[in-house]
Amino acid sequence: MAEPNYKTALQHPVFNTVSVANRNLGLESYVIGGFVRDFLLKRGDAKDIDIVAVGSGIDLAKEVSNLLPGKPKVSIFKTYGTAMLKSGAIELEFVGARKESYQADSRNPAVEDGTLEEDQNRRDFTINALAISLNDDSFGRLLDPFNGLSDLEQKIIRTPLDPDITYSDDPLRMLRAIRFATQLNFSIEKESLQSIARNADRIQIISKERIVEECHKILAAPVPSIGFALLHKTGLLPYIFPELVALEGIEEKEGQKHKDNFWHTLEVVDNIAQTTDNLWLRWAALLHDIGKAPTKRFDKKIGWTFHAHEFVGSKMVFKLFKRLKMPLNDKMKFVQKMVMMSSRPIVLASEVTDSAVRRLVFDAGDYVEDLMILCEADITTKNPNRFKKYHNNFQKVRRKIVEVEERDHVRNFQPPVSGEEIMTTFGLKPCREIGVIKDAIKEAILEGEIPNEYEAARNFMLKKGQEIGLKVA
């Protein structure tokens, strides 16, 4: 990595404003953490900037606000000794330099005022302990007490202090190490990796919300399997996703094997990461086979089976989301639907009939394209001929979806004949027969017996009513 000009990191006018505020208050301050790391890695312009003050971070934030045009509002968090303000698109967080001590049952430390060096000691990784001075006499100077610059160059995640202390004090850092390794495509230093394995059970004191936040970031990375393989290697995975752990392994009976569904799942997640940034679709890829562990059976005639694993898996999605305190709203329902339907296009690809495609579009609704993306990602065969055959079949399904949708309009289907019209036509009050007729009309349209049009549906309604003994009023 070329020796950077660190002053070029401080070109935004807000850094000069902080420097003036330092002078006015007689404080020292430094920009630290992710902003410095990402500048050195040339990862684009960071919008979140952490500034550590040797003294009161809250006082510094107030003074910076007074100096900025429009005097932006300062949000103060006294419990944590931090303050935040926005300057244009940039969000600045100010904190006083501090040292910390931890209790075994909590990741919330006792905090005391400290020096810059003590503040850097408490940082999670050497690459996040890098600081650039905002002081008049050393503006732009890099402070790198733990050789973080060298670790950036060598693409290494390493803790500033003994990793057992770093991870035991705040076990969330174990997940952060894996997340950074995934996002940056870095390696976790050997001793640090072994320490994560030693301290894996400590993850149990971390809130589910914080764990999920890190998992989101791992899933959103270009190659998410890096992170999940590390979670597996370090023994963290059973504490977070026992459903995935249960998928690992290849069992053989009477000369017949099944594939390792854990490593297959990671391949699917990597495949889908190449085609979509939709986080919840990536979750669906991660969870699409979780029903296979509880449904695995061996049949002497046909070998290994996973009957109804999609249905079982969709039920497991709800339990997993609830356990991890994830949203039980439309996002969870979307993941459930993708898991439930994950085999449908694969089965359909072998025989692409109009009626089967109509039912697929009817059931998937607006998510039919997401479902196709998931199913294409699910092709992990290493046989080039089979790979090509599957993809060609999926292209046929896609073409048929367009053709059927243009002709039959079954996406987000609304019956051409309403329940009210059925009641009026036959002089009915609310009753079972109305549902029977509506279902019969829907089935006739999906099977291609009648077009999705009012006149055809009305004529079918009259015929069906007559069959079940109804008379026109």
| Contact in structure between 133 and 139 (CB atoms under 8 Å) | yes
Q: Are residue 23 and residue 102 in the same domain, yes or no?
A: yes
For 261, the token pair is 């569904």
445-469 tens-digit pLDDT: 999 999 999 999 999 999 999 999 9
| 55 and 109 part of one domain | yes
119 pLDDT exceeds 60?
yes
Compare 107 and 95 and report the one with higher pLDDT: 95
Q: At which of 154, 182, 201 does a domain end?
A: 154
What's residue 2's pLDDT? Answer: 44
Q: What is the pLDDT of residue 422?
A: 95
Query: What was the pLDDT predicted at 3?
Result: 46
Please check whether residues 174 and 148 belong to one and the same domain. Answer: no
- Report yes or no on 253 lying in a domain: no
> In terms of domains, do 38 and 144 share one?
yes
**What is the pLDDT confidence band of residue 116, given thresholds at 50, 70 and 90?**
confident
Answer yes or no: is 394 within a domain.
no
DSSP assignment, residue 52?
E
The domain that holds 131 is classified in CATH as 3.30.460.10
What is the SS3 string spanning 154-177? HCEECCCCCHHHHHHHCCHHHHHH
In this structure, the answer to whether residues 143 and 163 fall within a common structural domain is: no
Do 138 and 167 fall into the same domain? no
Whether residue 185 lies inside any domain: the answer is yes
Residue predicted with more confidence, 120 or 371:
371
What would the two tokens of residue 355 be?
A: 């009626």
CATH of the domain at 186: 1.10.110.30
338 belongs to a structural domain: no
pLDDT at 129 over 60: yes
Overall residue count recorded for the chain in this entry: 473
pLDDT 10s digits, 3-14: 456 888 999 999
User: Quick check: 404 and 354 in contact, CB under 8 A?
Assistant: yes
Give yes or no: residues 12 and 138 share one domain. yes
Question: Cα–Cα distance between 368 and 69 in angstroms, integer?
Answer: 49
* 73 domain residue, yes or no: yes
129 and 234 housed in the same domain: no
What pLDDT score was predicted for residue 301?
79
Q: Is residue 148 part of a domain?
A: yes
Do 49 and 148 reside in the same domain of the chain? yes
Choose one of 192, 225, 240: the last residue of a domain. Answer: 240
pLDDT of 381 reads 84
How many domains does one find in the chain? 3
Same domain, 87 and 161: no
Q: What pLDDT, on the 0 to 100 scale, is given for residue 5?
A: 62
Residue 1 has pLDDT above 50, yes or no: no
Would residue 406 count as lying in a domain? no
Pairing of strands 28-32, 48-54: antiparallel
328 domain residue, yes or no = no
| Same domain for 205 and 85 | no
Both 95 and 185 in a single domain? no
Query: pLDDT tens-digit profile of 60-94?
Result: 999 999 999 999 999 999 877 899 999 888 999 99
Confidence at residue 107, expressed as pLDDT on a 0 to 100 scale: 53
The answer, yes or no, to whether residue 402 has pLDDT greater than 80, is: yes
Q: Which of 99, 124, 154 is the last residue of a domain?
A: 154
Pick from 7, 105, 98, 93: nearest CA to 58: 93
Range of the domain at 200: 155-240
